[in-house]
Amino acid sequence: MSELTIPCAYQGGKYRIAKQIVNIISEYIKDDNTKFYDLCCGSGAVSIELVNQGFYPGNIIMVDKSPWGLFWEQIGDGTFSIDLFKTWIDSVPKDVSKIQEYIKELSKYPVYKTQTDISYIFLLLQASSFGSKSIWIKDDKWQNTSFRNYWLPTETSSRRSPVNPMMPMPNTLYQRVEELTMGMDGIKGYWKDCNDIFIEPNSVIYIDPPYDKTTKYGFEFDYMKFINEHKNNNIILLSEGKQIFENAYNFTDRRSKGGISGERKKVNEEWLNICA
């Protein structure tokens, strides 16, 4: 099996810097019995990279209040049906020009009508999200439902490559998820508030909340309160858009390219803060 990777991107995910983060996290994992908590885990980039580097999945606890939490909960307890997901993948139009409209219509269904299919639908919506903005549920409705369209470069556009209506496209999404159902087998996932999780003492905790003064994902998490409650018995690492603790690493990505136009307007700072 090739290296595991995230199902799809979302704004705020740590896929690009997961290896750097895990290299530091590994310094604090003392033995094979150490529990690792991935709070606000999202697409799971950090936990996935830990597994890629040989960390035992059974010692990983992944928590998220968004539908990502449901996905990881089902991966962990074996209830995610790869066959049912394949049915949903096959329902996506083969004509790329028709995918956006299909996804738009899918997002309009009240969540309660598709209760048993939430995680499968969520993956399709998130992979189709414009700018990879986070999709979540509120009042039984899908939120932040602006989706990619198939786009071809013009003679005057800065970006020279086409933009697909899904990133990744359906077959690749299916392959990634199928590999995760096997490679991440044994993790413990929770679709709930991070404050509702029991934390074993002497654990390593990684928190990746929505950054201060950035677009929220539909949920609030007072991570400083959480840190103060758990810092005495655990190692806590916090991703934020600024330095908070004296011991911190700056992973700011200085790339000039990016975005739908091919030009990045500003650089978002990435800090890993250590409370140890």
Q: Has residue 38 got a pLDDT over 60?
A: yes
Residue 258 pLDDT class (50, 70, 90 cuts): very low
Least confident of 96-110, 111-125, 201-215: 201-215
Give the position of tokens 């992979």: 127
> Alpha-carbon distance 163 to 152, whole Å?
7
For 197-240, what is each residue's pLDDT tens digit?
Answer: 999 999 999 999 987 755 555 677 899 999 999 999 999 999 99
Least confident of 14-28, 43-57, 161-175, 203-217: 203-217
What percent of the chain is modeled with pLDDT above 90?
A: 80
Beta-carbon count within 10 A of 109 CB: 14
Residue 12 pLDDT class (50, 70, 90 cuts): confident
Residue 266 pLDDT class (50, 70, 90 cuts): low
Higher-confidence position of 235 and 263: 235
| Residue (of 184, 189, 198, 239) closest to 63 by Cα position | 189
| Residue (of 193, 177, 195, 174) closest to 185 by Cα position | 177
Tokens representing 220 are 């609030």
List the chain domain ranges: 1-276
Can you give the pLDDT at residue 213?
58
Higher-confidence position of 250 and 252: 250
Q: Has residue 123 got a pLDDT over 90?
A: yes
- Exposure string (b/e) for 227-246, b if CB count within 10 Å is 16 or more? beebeeebbbbbbbbeebbe
Can you give the pLDDT at residue 153?
75
Are the beta carbons of 65 and 193 closer than 8 angstroms? Answer: yes
Are the beta carbons of 114 and 121 closer than 8 angstroms? Answer: yes
Higher-confidence position of 262 and 47: 47
Are the beta carbons of 149 and 103 closer than 8 angstroms? Answer: no
Can you give the pLDDT at residue 256?
45
Q: Is 96 exposed, middle or buried (0-12, 13-18, 19+ CB in 10 A)?
A: middle
CA distances to 42, 126, 210, 247 from 137, rounded to whole Å, are 14, 12, 16, 36
For 164-197, what is each residue's pLDDT tens digit?
Answer: 999 999 999 999 999 999 999 999 999 999 999 9
Phi/psi at 273 (nearest 5 deg)? Answer: -95, 135
Are the beta carbons of 47 and 136 closer than 8 angstroms? Answer: no
Residue 19 pLDDT class (50, 70, 90 cuts): very high
